[in-house]
Amino acid sequence: MSRAHMLYDDKALQSGRTAQHRWSGPFNSAAVFKSSVSQSGVLLEGVYRSQEAHHIDDRQKTPLRYRALHVEVTSAQRRRWDKFGQEMESNLVSSKKMNTGFLNSSYKKVDSGGEDCMTYDDTVKAFRTGTELDSWPAAAHAHCVVVWAEESEVKDVEIEFGQKVRVRTCGEGPLVESITVLDSDQKRAVTNYSGGEKVGGSWTDKLMAAKAKTEGPTETEQKEGADDDEWDD
């Protein structure tokens, strides 16, 4: 896929749908997105399908720029917290295999999630703001939900259409707290944007640096670092 289809590329930002809106009063992001509620939010994984820009002008004439990101949901659950207020990690496994006989091939899939797991309809309901903002995004792919982020926070994020992502929302609405791009085998994840940190293209450098640490120096590098006498034999 070409770079023109990436979120961080200017062409992608220009080619997506852009809608202009007028807000009747002052636009209070925390109130509209219900993002100020602590120890809440949704953790979901899915496929990033599309995005669109929404520019809002409120009564205070403050230009507000947001991105509506369409994610095709594969699994979702409510974020969990321990008694100390620390978030508890989850692998978002929504089903497991259960043996139904003596043969290894005899099994059925059963729901392995607890009360925190969410259906698609649950996720859609959790992301409704109860305001006119809910009707703004255009219809997208089937089984998609819409999450929102400030344009300034995601314009440098490297996400290609069709990539699998993990999204954390904050509060009781659709505002993005973090977006994580998952690699193809889903064994390594690299965070592009988290908690306001704009990382942009640096995630590739981080991945390569981690790989170098794991593999250690190559044989060529070892030879270059040795004295000539050591390689005369």
Cα 70 from Cα 73, distance rounded (Å): 9
Which residues are registered as beta bridge partners of 55? 20, 65
Q: 16, 9 in Cβ contact below 8 A?
A: no
DSSP structure string for 165-222: EEEEE-TTSSBEEEEEEE-TTSS-EEEEEETTEE-TTHHHHHHHHHHHHHH---HHHH
Category of 41 on φ-ψ map: left (φ > 0), alpha (ψ -120 to 50) or beta: left
Per-residue model confidence as pLDDT tens for the chain (233 residues):
444 334 444 444 334 689 999 998 899 999 999 998 888 899 999 999 999 999 999 888 778 999 999 999 999 999 998 989 898 877 665 544 444 455 555 544 444 456 679 999 999 999 999 999 999 998 777 899 999 999 988 888 888 899 999 999 999 999 999 999 997 554 444 444 444 444 433 434 444 454 555 555 555 555 555 555 554 55
Alpha helices by DSSP H, the chain = 10-15, 29-33, 120-126, 151-154, 202-215, 219-224
Q: 181, 159 in Cβ contact below 8 A?
A: yes
pLDDT of residue 197: 45
User: Within the chain, how many helices (H) and strands (E) appear?
Assistant: 6, 12
pLDDT of residue 111: 47
